Chain A
Amino acid sequence: GDSVTQMEGPVTLSEEAFLTINCTYTATGYPSLFWYVQYPGEGLQLLLKATKADDKGSNKGFEATYRKETTSFHLEKGSVQVSDSAVYFCALNRPNFNKFYFGSGTKLNVKP
């Protein structure tokens, strides 16, 4: 069945460090891929998405590229800020299904 695997957290970085959060998926067909972010005590916010192979989603300095050959959608940011501290969820949604498959979430802690 469909699934998403994320790297275990928490990830702790110093401000201005480079961030990578790994995400790999298993799915039939051609799913759309997403990163959502959840700040403490809040709901999920869409961070970025990609709907086909080789697409790059980007927002607020974050980027992820849909790699079909490696079934991956790794999240990257060149210079993290304290305000980026949150939980990040990778997710997929197959065409003609209205069900998301979420990864387990990766908590990011950024220290000043």
Chain B
Amino acid sequence: DTEVTQTPKHLVMGMTNKKSLKCEQHMGHRAMYWYKQKAKKPPELMFVYSYEKLSINESVPSRFSPECPNSSLLNLHLHALQPEDSALYLCASSQRPQTDTQYFGPGTRLTVL
């Protein structure tokens, strides 16, 4: 099974709201990733967690706050977002950090009003 699940599927929020995106995998993978994808563009890496520790932050604004509570879960906390943050947010995982294949979830479609 190579399934990564994400909730919610869709999210609409105002600029003053606080919300969270969730990602879960039960493949025993020890690396997890957040990507942002704008329409008609490839995914852009935001964060990488390796063995539950943040290893890469691609200069993401602090209004995005990742969290990895355990090896199966990855959250992305959102606060004071801007309309330009509207995008598809994808979670991915890989067996170990620095191994090749990443498996992606279906994404959360975020709209910021």
Does residue A28 face the partner (Cβ distance < 8 Å to B)? Answer: no
B43 touches A98 (CB 8 A): no
Query: Whole-angstrom distance between the alpha carbons of A43 and B102 in the complex?
Result: 12
Query: Whole-angstrom distance between the alpha carbons of A95 and B97 in the complex?
Result: 10
**Given contacts A43-B90, A104-B41, are A93 and B100 in contact (CB under 8 A)?**
yes
List the count of A-B residue pairs having beta carbons below 8 Å apart.
61
| Chain B interface category by residue count | 20 to 34
B107 touches A100 (CB 8 A): no
Contacts from B to A (Cβ < 8 Å): 2, 4, 6, 31, 33, 40-43, 45, 48, 50, 55-56, 88, 90, 92, 94, 97-107, 109
CB neighbours of B97 from chain A (8 A): 98
A102 touches B90 (CB 8 A): no
A43 touches B40 (CB 8 A): no
B40 touches A105 (CB 8 A): yes
Q: Which residue of A lies closest to B105 (CB)?
A: A43
CB < 8 Å neighbour of B43 from A34, A97, A102: A102
B98 touches A97 (CB 8 A): yes
A89 touches B98 (CB 8 A): no
Q: Tell which of B40, B48, B109 has the most Cβ of chain A within 10 Å.
A: B40
How far is the CB of B76 from the nearest CB of chain A, in Å? 15
CB neighbours of A99 from chain B (8 A): 45, 48, 56
22 A/B residue pairs, CB under 8 Å, sorted by A: A32-B100, A32-B101, A41-B109, A42-B107, A43-B6, A43-B107, A44-B104, A45-B104, A46-B2, A46-B102, A49-B100, A51-B100, A93-B100, A93-B102, A97-B98, A98-B56, A98-B97, A98-B98, A99-B48, A102-B42, A105-B41, A107-B40
